Amino acid sequence: MNLTFSRITFKTGFYCLLAFTSIILLSCSYTEKIEESFEQGRKKKVRIYRKSLFSPHKAPVKYIEYHFNRNVAFETELKHGFYHGNCKSHFIRGGLKSKGSYNRGEKSNTWKYYYEKEKIVSAKGPYKRDKKNGIWKTYWNNSQLKSKGAFKSGKETGEWKYWYPTGVLKSVSSCFIHNDTGYTVTYHPNAKLKESFACKGTGKIGPYISYDKYGRLHEQGQYNEHLKKDGEWKTWYDGERVTGLYFYNNGLLNDTCRSWDSTGKLLSEGFFENGTGTLIHYYPNGTPKARESFLAGKKQGDHWLYYPSGAPSSQTIYLDDQPQSVFHWYDSKKINMPVLAMSGKFQEGKRHGLWLWFSEKRVLYESALFEKDVRHGISKYYNPKTGTLQRKQEFQNGQPLLATLSATPLPKQ
């Protein structure tokens, strides 16, 4: 009896001592903040550290980022310098953007994402080692289910379902990289079947068929084992009248191809040999609308557009599917003497170098330098009647600089 009482007394004393020690240690620790500010002095980032009087080291315990308007942008707990524990992010107006948790710097467990205005969930699902893993759901901003399916190591797997905002099923698909084989079935908003095909990974394989919103046949063809269009392909209007007839060889147009409108008028025709050939498009009155040249399935050489009058509208020169230069003309009844309206060059498919614009009287009224599709350098503006330089404006990465150089007084508006 006395022995038992002694053991109880010892345990009680031990736990009391442990609790007392913890209280002492906590009372001897304090927090320290290190702040980083915007140029205007407003808080930008804050790290909170816990420091003990008995240790020279300080441990980071919380990290906070702020929007410029002082609202919290991001906040999370820290452990050993990693994001660890609960985390939240916020939109600039203060609404919740996302919430979840980290485990040593990696997203883990269930995360939720929100729409800004509606303040409702836009997506939710689990992470494992910073990658989506398990069942995920996304939602429309009316709270209707948008999609549902599984992730494996950050990539879709298995069968996924998608819905329209009305709740009508949009598609069912298992065409993902993680799936060796699969299928896709899609539906119109009225729930009528839209298309159906099998797949290998993310590519279509085997028979393909699609329907219009009334359930009538729209397109039909075949994909080969290389996931390329092959053989005869057809498109229909109202399920009865053929509007397109094309032949493919391993994904490249081959032989004669034609398309028609709903009344049977020819819209386009061409002849190809393994993707090399010319395709001509027509206006309803039968005059050429466009002429395109291809080499092994890629745009190559001159591509012409025409006005209904037959006068050339533009000429674009292509190399390996990328535009190199373009010329555009005004519509003129003098087909043999078109009036140049604009000219320019491209680099990697984007406007680059000197571009020029002319009036119908063949007078230069604007010139500009481009880099990666945006103005970069000096742009000049001229009087469209006399060609006299009126103004210069310098641009940098698409943004006008403050200084505007005037060559002559601008005309009164």
pLDDT of residue 161: 97
Nearest to 264 by CA among 246, 282, 289: 282
> Does this model's pTM top 0.85?
no
Enumerate the β-bridge partners of residue 271. 256, 278
pLDDT of residue 50: 82
pLDDT of residue 365: 96
pLDDT of residue 32: 80
pLDDT of residue 25: 46
pLDDT of residue 410: 43
Please write down the long-range contacts of 2-11, taking CB distance under 8 Å and 24 or more positions apart. none
pLDDT of residue 24: 47
What's the full length of the chain, in residues?
Answer: 413
pLDDT of residue 13: 53
| Residues of the chain under the 70 pLDDT cut | 1-30, 52-56, 333-336, 403-413
Are the beta carbons of 132 and 124 closer than 8 angstroms? Answer: no
